[in-house]
Structure 1
Amino acid sequence: MRRLNQLAPNVEKYAADAKLKAAHQLAEEVRSRAPTGATLDYMESIDGDLLTSRPAQEQVGTRSTKDVTATGLFAKFIWRFLEYGTAPHFTTKGGGTVAGKKQAVLSQAKMHPGTQAQPHIFPIYRAMKPKIRKMILAAVNKAVREARKG
């Protein structure tokens, strides 16, 4: 990256703009296919942004990075329950532990039936990944072309 910046100083600026635009497009596509529910609250919480601008908010499927221009998809914490579904479980306090299950059975507590997986993030990301790569490469190529002209 250092050699590329020496060749074309605007590469990081153009690539950062392309990454942010791609994150917004991905968020819009995921939002359009997200489970709505009764309040649309979860669907409206999905957004694409820079990782550095939201350090404390829940990040969807990302790891830590040193790239200050890295972008990500942000959503409410329930995204993983919707994406992967849940297994049947007791709703009483401690219902997931062995002792809690025994106590829940004895008290005839309610059993949550679990939820079906509703994949709406990663299938869309996988489908859009080639387009996102092309956007970033086009931005890098644009910066290189400008550097070669000047």
Structure 2
Amino acid sequence: MKRLNALAPNVEKYAADAKIAIMEDFAAEMEQKAPTGATLEYMHSFDADFIRNRPAQEQVGIQASKDKDAVGLFASFIWRFLEFGTAPHSTAKGGGTVAGKKAAADNPTGMHPGTPAQPHIFPNWRAAKPQAKKRLNAAINKAVREAMKK
């Protein structure tokens, strides 16, 4: 990156602009493809932003990055329950503790049946990733071409 910045000083600016544009487009796509509930609240919770701007907010499937211009997809906390599903579990007071299991055995209505997985984020990102890489590379190439003309 140091050599690329020496060649084209605007490359990081162009790359950051491309990254946020890519993720904003993906967030809009996810609004269309996300599972809908009665309130549509989850569907409208998708948002793209720089990770540095939201250090404490829930991030969708992202790990720590050294990139100061890293961009993430942010959504409501329930994304992982929808994406991966849930196992049957006790909703009685005490939940999964021994007391909760005893309460669930006495009162089977306190059991949640679990939910099936509804994968929608990661399959769509894997499908969109090649096009996203092309857009990012095009932005970097544009910065290099501009620098070469000067």
TM (normalized to structure 1)?
A: 0.95
| 2:119 paired residue number | 119
Q: Would the aligned equivalents of 1:27 and 1:46 in 2 still touch at CA under 8 Å?
A: yes
Shift of 1:99: 3.7
Residue identity opposite 1:142 in structure 2: K
Q: Is structure 2 residue 147 aligned with structure 1 residue 147?
A: yes
Per-residue Cα deviation, 1:80-121 (whole angstroms, up to 9, x for no partner)? 000011111111122223442123213444211111111110
- State the number of aligned residues: 150
| 1:2 paired residue number | 2
| 2:60 paired residue number | 60
Shift of 1:3: 0.5
| 1:90 paired residue number | 90
| 1:44 paired residue number | 44
Report SS of the residue matched to 1:48.
Answer: strand
Q: Is structure 2 residue 11 aligned with structure 1 residue 11?
A: yes
Shift of 1:24: 0.4
Structure 1: which 4+ aligned runs deviate by more than 3 Å?
none
| Root mean square deviation of aligned Cα | 1.1
Residue identity opposite 1:148 in structure 2: M
Report SS of the residue matched to 1:58.
Answer: coil
- Structure 1 residues 49-58 or 11-20, which shifts more? 49-58
Q: Would the aligned equivalents of 1:31 and 1:43 in 2 still touch at CA under 8 Å?
A: yes
| 1:103 paired residue number | 103
Per-residue Cα deviation, 1:51-76 (whole angstroms, up to 9, x for no partner)? 01111110000111121110000001
| 2:138 paired residue number | 138
Q: Is structure 2 residue 34 aligned with structure 1 residue 34?
A: yes
Report SS of the residue matched to 2:35.
Answer: coil
Q: Would the aligned equivalents of 1:86 and 1:114 in 2 still touch at CA under 8 Å?
A: yes
Report SS of the residue matched to 2:37.
Answer: coil
Residue identity opposite 1:78 in structure 2: I
Segments of 5+ residues of structure 2 without an aligned counterpart are none
C-alpha distance in structure 2 between counterparts of 1:123 and 1:107, whole Å? 39
Q: Would the aligned equivalents of 1:90 and 1:109 in 2 still touch at CA under 8 Å?
A: no
Percent same amino acid at aligned positions?
65
C-alpha distance in structure 2 between counterparts of 1:127 and 1:6, whole Å? 34
Segments of 5+ residues of structure 1 without an aligned counterpart are none
